[in-house]
Every structure is written in C-alpha cells, then in structure tokens.
C-alpha cells in the first residue's frame, strides 16, 4: 500500500473551464507550444531532431546543441501530451507521432536500447561517464528520464505505445547496467547515480504505470518484444537514492559530484538543500515519490524529504517562490542568503512546484499547495511574455533596466519545463482520500470521476468551480454533483495569503473546522449543492525574516496570490522609493486586458504604482524593484546591499542591537507590522 495522504485525479478527469488560468493555458496551447516547436526545429540551423537522424545514419562527430537536447525535446513532448489529453489537437498529435518514430529508429541502432545522441555521436566510448567521460556533462540519466516521462504522458493522453516502448527499452538498459539480477552479466552492477536528477521520479512513474495497468506489460511484450519488470524499476530508483554519497566504487566520472549534484553524503544524512537548484528540487521530487511507494515503518526517504523541505521553506525560499540564489552553478546559497538580484531560474521554480505536489500527496498539508501556487504564479508564469513568444531564464527581484526576455537561448531549457508544469497544472486542483474530496487550488475547472466512500464504495461525482474571480477578485463557487445523496467531507483550502475567508453552503454560514490549511465541510451532499467562497484580498506589505539582511528595512507588496513590483514605466521618478505608512489603494486598470494594480504615496508625498510581477518587462526595458524601502518610525537600521555573488552569511549578526525573533517561529515572511519597535543594543 502506497503512503498516499491525498491522491491526485487522473489527468483527463480535470479540465480548466474558465477564468484566469483557462485563458493562460489557451494562449500556451495556441501560441507558445508552436513557438517552442518552431524554434527547436530550426535550432542551430539543423534542428534538434537532426541528432537522432545522424544516429540513424551512423554519422558521428557532430551534435546540435548541448548534450541535454534529447531531454528538452522529450520534455516538450510531455507538456504537449498533457495539453492534448484534454484539448485534443490532431496537428500536435501527428507532430509527436513523427518525433516518436525518429526516436525509435535511432534507438533501434543500439542492441541494448541505449539512447543518448550526444554520447553516441561525440564520445561513444564513454557511456555513463566512464573511461574519462563526465556524467555531469553527458546527461544520460536525465535524457532517459525525460524520454520516460514523454512516453508515459503520451500514452496516457492517446493510448499510443510507440514512445512508451522506447522508454521501457531505455530503462531496461539502465537496469542491466546498474541493478542487474544475480547470475546475469554485469552483476552486481555499476555504481552510477544521476548527475542531473529527473529520472528518479520518471522511473517511479513507470513502475506505478505497470502496476496500475498489468495488462500493459503483455502488450509491450507482444507488440515490441520487450520484457517489463516493474519491481526492477523500483529497485533502480532505490539504488540511486541509497548510493548518493557512496563514492568508493563509483563507475562514472567524476566519482565525487559533491553538493552540486546532491552527492556529498548519503540521503539519510542530508539536512540542507544545496547545490544546483534544479537538480536538487528534481532529486527531492524523486525522493518523495520513492518514499510514497516504499512500505517501511520508519520511512527514511519521507523523513529526509520533510527535513529538506523545512530547511528550504524556512531559510532558502524567495518571496516569489523562486529558489537558487547564486548565479555561479545556479545553486542555493547559505541559509537566509536571499539577494534580490538572485538567479531564480524558471526551471527551478517548476521543479519546486513538482516537489510541492509530491509532498502534498505524501502528507496532505495545504502548506505545500501554498508553495506550489506561489512558485507557479510568481516564478514560473513570469517566464512567458504576454504575447506568448519570449522567455525569462532568470527571474530576479530587481533590475537595473538591462534584464529582458529572450526570443531563444543557447540553453533553452526553461520553455520545456514551463510547458511541463503548465500542461499538468490541472492535476493539482483536486485531490481525494477515503471519504474526502479536496479543493486544493481555486481555479475555474471541472472534475468528473469517482471517489471512495468511507465504507470503500465508489461514488460517481462531478465537482466544478465556477465564477472564480482570482487572482483579481476573492470569489469562488464550488458546485457538487454526486450521483446520489452521500455523506463525505469537502476539504476546501484556505490559502496562506487569504484575508478573512467565509464559506457558505447553500447560503448557510457555519463554523467549519480548520485542519492542515483546509476547511472541513462534513455533511450529506446532493446534486447541485453550492459552496460559496469569499476571500478578502487586501493589498498588504510583507517583511522578511530579520536574518535576511538583503531585505532589512524593506517590504514587498502582495495581493492574494500575486506578488507586485514597481516598474520604471509607471514610476518615472524611480523604483527605489521610500514608502510611508499610508494606506495602499487597489485600482482596476485596462492594462493587459484588465488587471488590478496597487497605488500609494511615498514617504516624501510622491505617488507610486505597482503591477503584478508576472507582467513586468512587457512594455520595454526599464528598472524594476520588488523589495521597497519602508519608513518605520523610531527605527534606525543599517542597510546592507546583498548581491547574488556575495554571501549573506558573512553579514549575519553584524547589525547593531539584538534581533527580536518573536513571531518568526517557522516563518520566513510575514505581514509587515508597523508597531514593532527597534530594540537598541545593550550597554
């Protein structure tokens, strides 16, 4: 039995139907997907699929793009698969079919099912980073992990198995190299762990797919002559996790990949999120997925996941939901090292959202959905320009006016990750446990399927969210359609950002208990019962933990799930203003088809205007600022300028006076309190 607290519905059971996010996904489907495909197909003039064609033709010595290009096109396939699963698009389906045939033909050139075009074309004698190769550079496990995801998601979307067969052959090949069965060639296997994580969760997904659909194994053998062994897939991921930090018999080079690849010590000893932020968050996602599928009384994988999550959330998470402060190696900084010109890669934000989703599956706590929502809204969505064709790699919280989105990049890894998380965003809206239905995200949508009752029976059920006004208005309407009258709990998430929140059931107000961030509404439900949600969405100032020296004496502006910023276009006198204690005003604007902006007065009596951070840099270059100086009566604070190249830890404890941590327990950010007074140093 899996360790699942809240299970997600099948992807095709949920559809975005209206409101803000339905509009975003429509643009992504109609514009961004085609933009990404066109640019990849013209990349480096030859196009990304040329690598597979050269493998088919046996032409080595050349490769289009960096070694991880195989993975990027497979990530695009996964994202598109999720999109067409609910909004079928014949042109996109045929495009993926054509890609699948080329990938399969390239794989057939190798008797072991090995597929990594860079290694095959450039360094065929250095598979898996052996013989002086570099697993960090070659990206073999990463690329095969992306292929595995693509095969699974395309199969679930269309029922077509060709790409899935490629994934199974490639994973079988990894099993033969790393976890061969006793008595078979190569036993006991080579000590190789992913240098760029992703394969861990992907292979767990493959394991789960064949357990859920046992007949699919027979199809693979009958149609493609492939032997499917799900338990080996689980064993492979367990091997990878258990051999992090085990270097004495490491096969691949470099033997010691250090904190950069989360290989500095065993996973049971890791207590701090470190290294390359994308690699880290994807590894932690796989760690959590493995823990969910591991039946142990003392689940060391889930305990490690909680330990690492708490370290990240309490000391290394930017207010935008971004992670990875330091430009060098795109890595985490020290605790509370949160400079405003931080790296905050789009891919890292997407990876964090995936990790948050797995943590919610494991523990069912609304706080994980708070982080997922924040990361997607304020670190991933800003990647995309309003016209759907330009992209941010980095998402800093301050700009001198030189930062802008690019049409394409030498390492275009962010558009594929963007498509992946946006394509599956609907998967996180609802959740289920025995006798309970969860509404995790307030988004216009509809679920159609079944739920398990407390007695184990199945109930046909539809749940829809209509008239959802977020992120501009704090309204939502949940309508339930059980096939028959039934008693169960509807768990409605109360977001951490919400002000006063009221929940009416059929126009009746009651005092619903709150548990793990959810209102628990228990009653007998019948068709067309309505739950009306009303949330206050005041514009608020937020301050950072006193140890975050980069934001000392500064506040950020938020309203609902949105982070706001000052952009030079709206503030010609500058974005580094000093705010007074005046009230913030919310104003409707016709910009970008209709948004809400925040206006107010500076301490000097001037005016300022802030717009949602995800929309900045859509009106040309200009300065931008998220953390704004705040006047506080009676307080004198030395302002420290933190940069991503510096280390906040060097400044820890250097400020004058004592640090009052009252009210900061378990928090990295909180609403600004103008009444907190400065504590002078002791004599």
Confidence of residue 40 (pLDDT cuts 50, 70, 90): very high
Please give the pLDDT value at position 151: 98
Pick from 447, 312, 301, 422: nearest CA to 367: 312
Q: pLDDT tens across 572-619, in order?
A: 989 999 999 999 999 999 999 999 999 999 999 999 999 999 999 999
Query: DSSP 3-state assignment of 591?
Result: helix
What percent of the chain is modeled with pLDDT above 90?
91
pTM > 0.85: yes
Quick check: 477 and 465 in contact, CB under 8 A?
yes
Quick check: 74 and 146 in contact, CB under 8 A?
yes
Instruction: Return the number of other C-beta atoms located less than 10 Å from residue 607's C-beta.
Output: 12
Structure tokens at 445: 């949508």
Mean pLDDT rounded to a whole number for the chain:
94
Task: Say yes or no to pLDDT of 680 above 50.
Answer: no
Instruction: Classify burial at 244, counting beta carbons within 10 Å of its beta carbon; exposed 0-12, middle 13-18, buried 19 or more.
Output: buried
d(CA 283, CA 243): 13
Pick from 129, 131, 241, 127: nearest CA to 179: 241
Mean pLDDT of 192-220: 98
What percent of the chain is modeled with pLDDT above 70?
95
Quick check: 354 and 506 in contact, CB under 8 A?
no
In DSSP terms, which residues pair with 587 in a beta bridge?
597
* Cis-peptide into 116, omega within 30 deg: no
Confidence of residue 242 (pLDDT cuts 50, 70, 90): very high
Pick from 271, 416, 288, 275: nearest CA to 357: 288
End-to-end Cα separation, the chain, in angstroms: 61
Please give the pLDDT value at position 296: 84
Q: pLDDT tens across 262-319, in order?
A: 999 999 999 999 999 999 999 999 999 999 999 988 899 999 999 999 999 999 999 9
Please give the pLDDT value at position 641: 56
H or E segment to which residue 19 belongs: helix 19-27
H or E segment to which residue 266 belongs: none
Quick check: 531 and 503 in contact, CB under 8 A?
yes
* Cis-peptide into 178, omega within 30 deg: no
Q: pLDDT tens across 86-127, in order?
A: 999 999 999 999 999 999 999 999 999 999 999 999 999 999
Please give the pLDDT value at position 44: 87
Which domains does the chain carry?
52-257 (no CATH), 434-496+500-535 (2.60.420)
Characterise 321 by phi-psi region: left (phi > 0), alpha (psi -120 to 50), beta (else). left
Give 38-63 as a DSSP string: HHHHTTTTT-TTHHHHHHHHT--S--
Quick check: 16 and 22 in contact, CB under 8 A?
yes
- What letter does residue 670 receive in the DSSP assignment? E
Determine the angle formed by the axes of helices 90-107 and 162-178, rounding to 10 degrees: 40
Please give the pLDDT value at position 632: 77
Mean pLDDT of 28-45: 96
Please give the pLDDT value at position 634: 52
d(CA 48, CA 6): 39
Please give the pLDDT value at position 499: 86
In DSSP terms, which residues pair with 210 in a beta bridge?
none
Report the range of poorest mean pLDDT among 486-495, 627-636, 647-656. Answer: 647-656
d(CA 142, CA 278): 12
Please give the pLDDT value at position 298: 85
Please give the pLDDT value at position 659: 80
Quick check: 37 and 76 in contact, CB under 8 A?
yes
**Block residue for tokens 């898996």:** 128
Q: pLDDT tens across 436-467, in order?
A: 999 999 999 999 999 999 999 999 999 999 99
According to the 3-state scheme, what is the secondary structure of 399-451? ECCCCCCECCCCCCCHHHHHHHHHHCHHHHCEEEECCEEEECCCCCEEEEEEE
Confidence of residue 683 (pLDDT cuts 50, 70, 90): very low
Please give the pLDDT value at position 297: 82
User: 180-188: long-range contacts at Cβ-Cβ below 8 A with a sequence spacing of 24 or more?
Assistant: 181/232
Bridge-based pairing state of the strands 578-579 and 628-630: parallel
């Amino acid at each position: 039995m899996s360790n699942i607290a809240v299970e997600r519905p099948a992807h095709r059971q949920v559809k975005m139907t209206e409101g803000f996010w339905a509009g975003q996904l429509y643009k992504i489907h109609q514009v961004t997907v085609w933009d990404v495909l066109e640019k990849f197909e013209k990349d480096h003039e030859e196009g990304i699929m040329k690598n597979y064609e050269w493998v088919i033709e046996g032409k080595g010595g050349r490769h289009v793009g960096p070694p991880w290009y195989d993975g990027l096109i497979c990530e695009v396939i996964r994202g598109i698969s999720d999109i067409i699963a609910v909004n079928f698009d014949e042109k996109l389906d045929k495009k993926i079919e054509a890609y699948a045939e080329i990938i399969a033909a390239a794989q057939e050139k190798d008797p072991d099912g090995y597929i990594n075009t860079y290694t095959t074309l450039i360094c065929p004698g250095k598979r898996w980073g052996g013989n002086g190769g570099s697993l960090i550079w070659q990206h073999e496990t990463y690329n095969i992990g992306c292929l595995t995801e693509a095969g699974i998601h395309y199969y679930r979307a269309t029922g077509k198995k060709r790409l899935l067969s490629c994934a199974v052959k490639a994973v079988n090949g990894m099993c033969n190299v790393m976890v061969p069965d006793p008595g078979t060639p190569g036993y006991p296997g080579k000590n190789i762990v992913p240098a760029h994580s992703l394969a861990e969760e992907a292979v767990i997904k493959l394991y789960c797919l064949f357990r859920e659909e046992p007949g699919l194994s027979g199809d693979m053998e009958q149609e493609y002559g492939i032997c499917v062994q799900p338990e080996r897939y689980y064993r492979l991921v367990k091997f990878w996790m258990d051999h992090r930090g085990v270097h004495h018999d490491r096969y691949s080079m470099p033997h010691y990949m250090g904190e950069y690849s989360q290989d500095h010590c065993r996973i049971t000893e890791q207590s701090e999120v470190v290294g390359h932020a994308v690699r880290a968050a994807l590894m932690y996602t796989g760690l959590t997925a493995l823990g969910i599928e591991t039946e142990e009384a003392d689940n060391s994988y889930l305990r490690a996941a909680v330990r690492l999550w708490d370290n990240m959330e309490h000391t290394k998470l930017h207010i935008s939901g971004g992670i990875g402060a330091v430009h060098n190696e795109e890595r985490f900084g020290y605790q509370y090292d949160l400079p405003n010109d931080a790296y905050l890669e789009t891919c890292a934000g997407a990876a964090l959202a995936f990790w948050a989703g797995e943590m919610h599956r494991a523990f069912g706590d609304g706080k994980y959905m708070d982080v997922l929502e924040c990361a997607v809204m304020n670190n991933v969505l800003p990647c995309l320009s309003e016209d759907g064709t330009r992209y941010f790699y980095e998402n800093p919280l301050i700009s001198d006016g030189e930062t802008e989105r690019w049409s394409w990049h030498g390492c275009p890894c962010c558009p594929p990750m963007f498509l992946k998380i946006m394509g599956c965003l609907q998967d996180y809206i609802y959740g289920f446990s025995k006798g309970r239905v969860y509404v995790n995200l307030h988004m216009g949508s509809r679920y159609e399927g079944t739920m398990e009752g407390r007695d184990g029976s199945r109930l046909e059920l539809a749940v829809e969210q209509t008239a959802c006004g977020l992120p501009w208005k704090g309204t939502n309407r949940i309508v339930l359609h059980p096939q028959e009258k039934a008693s169960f709990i509807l768990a409605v998430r109360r977001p951490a950002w919400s002000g006063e929140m009221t929940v009416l059931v059929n126009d009746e107000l009651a005092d619903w208990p709150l548990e793990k961030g959810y209102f628990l509404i228990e009653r007998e439900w019948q068709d067309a019962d309505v739950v009306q949600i009303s949330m206050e969405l005041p514009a608020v100032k937020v301050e950072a933990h006193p140890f975050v020296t980069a934001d000392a004496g500064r506040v950020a502006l938020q309203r609902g799930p949105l982070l706001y910023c000052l952009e030079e276009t709206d503030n010609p006198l500058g974005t580094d203003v000093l705010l007074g204690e005046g009230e913030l005003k919310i104003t409707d604007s016709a910009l970008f088809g209709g948004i809400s902006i925040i206006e107010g007065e500076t301490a000097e009596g001037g005016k300022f205007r802030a717009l949602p951070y995800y929309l900045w840099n859509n009106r040309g270059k200009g300065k931008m600022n998220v953390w704004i100086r705040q006047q506080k009566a009676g307080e004198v604070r030395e302002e420290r300028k933190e940069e991503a190249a510096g280390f906040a830890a060097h400044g820890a404890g250097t400020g004058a006076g004592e640090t009052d941590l009252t009210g900061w327990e378990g928090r990295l950010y909180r609403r600004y309190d103008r009444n907190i007074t400065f504590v002078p140093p002791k004599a």
